């Protein structure tokens, strides 16, 4: 029994050092090597902070691309989903309201053409990215609101599309905040 107790104490000490000291230090070092030094990628426009690239932002004006809806009103301090299942009547009502709103702001678009990500919130409620299809379906509205050509906006969308990691890991995506900052720079 004494032998087993010593082995248990040694293993506990090894795992405390490994998991409570070495692993957190390693993760902190990896974070420091990322854009923003582990504090998120802060985006500034004219010296003022416009937002963080890794947190979804709320855009409601018709002259901007909109991201995924948020169940936490884009509050990064309290991320979370709704936890309502796809057959929950309250959830279905919320999604239908988002569809109706989208159709009002994007006339000429059919319900079946709306990418699902534009009417359903992500699990965190803070997803900063949309698909190229979700950006492209908004081009007509933004072109009309800004008096720009659709071709200009399609080029902007294409230029801000991030390809999958290594060409095969994950989907193509567009950061909505970066796209809207570039949109404001267009004349």
pLDDT tens digits, one per residue of 111-136: 999 999 999 988 887 889 999 999 99
Query: Which regions of the chain does DSSP assign to beta strands (E)?
Result: 42-45, 48-52, 129-130, 161-162, 173-175
**Residues 173, 25: Cα–Cα separation, whole Å:** 31
Residue in 110, 161, 162, 166 with CA at minimum distance from that of residue 136: 161
Determine the pLDDT at residue 34: 80
Domain limits, the chain: 1-33, 42-185
Would you give per-residue pLDDT tens digits along the chain (187 residues)?
788 899 999 999 999 999 999 999 999 999 888 877 777 778 888 888 888 888 888 898 999 999 999 888 888 777 777 778 888 899 999 999 999 999 999 998 999 999 999 999 888 878 899 999 999 999 999 999 999 999 999 999 999 999 988 878 889 999 999 999 999 988 6
């Amino acid at each position: 029994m004494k032998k087993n107790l010593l082995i248990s104490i040694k293993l506990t000490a090894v795992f405390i050092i490994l998991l409570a000291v070495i692993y957190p230090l390693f993760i902190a070092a990896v974070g420091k090597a990322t854009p923003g030094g582990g504090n998120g990628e802060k985006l500034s426009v004219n010296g003022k902070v416009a937002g963080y690239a890794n947190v979804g932002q709320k855009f409601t004006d018709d002259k901007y691309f909109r991201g995924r809806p948020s169940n936490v009103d884009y509050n990064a301090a309290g991320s979370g989903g709704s936890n309502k299942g796809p057959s929950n009547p309250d959830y279905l009502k919320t999604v239908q309201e988002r569809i109706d709103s989208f159709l009002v702001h994007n006339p000429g678009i059919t319900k079946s053409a709306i990418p699902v990500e534009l009417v359903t919130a992500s699990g965190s409620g803070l997803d900063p990215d949309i698909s190229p299809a979700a950006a492209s379906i908004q081009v007509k509205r933004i072109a009309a609101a800004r008096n720009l050509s659709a071709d200009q906006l399609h080029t902007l969308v294409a230029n801000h599309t991030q390809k999958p990691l290594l060409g095969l890991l994950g989907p193509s995506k567009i950061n909505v905040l970066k796209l809207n900052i570039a949109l404001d720079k267009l004349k």
